[in-house]
Structure 1
């Protein structure tokens, strides 16, 4: 009996301690949303698998602080709403804006992105856009919640037609729902086109340009919001050490658009 009591005395603290450890581990899960942005973010709706350098960078930064990232595929407008409610903790690849700053902390940045903003039209209409002011005569397809370049983003005279993603946008363009589709990411737009659709569209000669710092966004209403400064420092340290560029190379990609 004495031996049994001794064993119980030893086991009881363990029985209490193990569930507490499990709860502690569950508390170190960060919920992040991603939408397909190949080749940097590749998301498979069928399997739910999300890969790419942008994903790996955040996973490593979180792991350095003892956290794990749980990823979900979601359209960007839904992500923004869920961040306002603290449902989603993090979102990769965002640019600063006053509107987003009301509910989002900006972590990083991992670099400054500089490349052209393109305009896709139906085949045969590409010559209609030779300058910025030509856009004022058109209906312009945009992705909801996306920033393009300052002149356009602040221009209230433009006739915008919103869409959730590139796949919807190209179909709306071909169907005549708008005249031109504004494109930040040419690779993502091309991936959304079928061979038959590709023959029905064309790129305008006119291009705009942007140069914006690129961040990870963290909800100000996240239960992990106090982690934001440490996570931001971890991301900047990865840039300084060359780890971000190395991760891009691991995926066969160049980090040349960042400085």
Structure 2
């Protein structure tokens, strides 16, 4: 009887750890929610699951901030594209999976942004829970308002409720119709030198993968160097 109980609990532990649960929010073209989620980061998560020999499952969230809460609690195992900030290292560990994307400024009709100093006195939409780069994130002199996500940001730009948002070139392509219809401006300002050079998976320290943290980081780092996630 004791042997049977031991085998049962051993089997239950293995079954518990067979999945990789990722939290995703609406963030096209990286993450597009639906019955079958798709996007650039979704593809990377599928490759991650294969690398770790786990079955990928998704928890679809209304925003990125909620995903962070789930990660901190250990209710999900991983988030794609989580910056390794000091305040997050208490509950998460990180591994790079691709070079960081560029960052561009989209501004409302009639407004051109030529340098970081042009951010002053502008209403800037920032996606809930997202960190951009240290200088901006810690600049308390700027007027920032929280928005649900970038999709809402484009809508507010069209209505001239905000002055600018920051997005990647891939998102500019994904929202090209909205940008052209509202005559929004794509700024030439370059922000790359202010940002992280890599994009990271963020894993909960309370994850249920049953794999050592160092082993996860080693596997992903080695795969990243070979271009596995491209």
TM-score scaled by length of structure 2? 0.81
Match of 1:138 in 2: 122
Which has the larger displacement, 193-202 or 225-234? Answer: 193-202
Q: Which has the higher strand share?
A: 1
Q: What secondary structure does 2:197 align onto?
A: strand
Which residue of structure 1 aligns with residue 90 of structure 2?
102
Which residue matches 2:225? 240
Give the whole-Å Cα distance in 2 for the aligned partners of 1:95 and 1:167.
21
Give the TM-score normalised by the residue count of structure 1: 0.73
2:104 corresponds in structure 1 to 118
- What secondary structure, in the 3-state scheme, does the structure 2 residue paired with 1:130 have? coil
**1:229 correspondence with 2:219:** no
**Separation of aligned partners in 1, 2:48 and 2:163:** 42
Please give the root-mean-square deviation of Cα atoms over the aligned residues, in Å. 2.9
Q: Which structure's CA Rg is the greater one?
A: 1
Alpha-carbon distance change, 189 to 164 in structure 1, aligned in 2, over 3 angstroms: farther
How many residue pairs are counted as aligned between the two chains? 224
Taking the TM superposition and a 5 Å limit, the aligned residue runs for 1:1-259 are: 21=11, 24-39=14-29, 41-45=30-34, 47=35, 49-74=36-61, 75-106=63-94, 108-113=95-100, 115=102, 117-126=103-112, 129-183=113-167, 185-192=168-175, 194-195=177-178, 198-209=181-192, 210-224=195-209, 227-244=212-229, 248=230
1:216-249 CA-to-partner distances (Å, cap 9, x unmatched) read: 00112334475332222111121233423xxx3x
Structure 1 portions without partners, runs of 5+: 1-12, 249-259
Q: 1:41-89 CA distances to partner (integer Å, 9 max, x unpaired)?
A: 34243x2x12345334443444444422212232211101111211121
Structure 2 unaligned residues grouped into runs of 5+: none
Deviation, 1:132, is 1.6
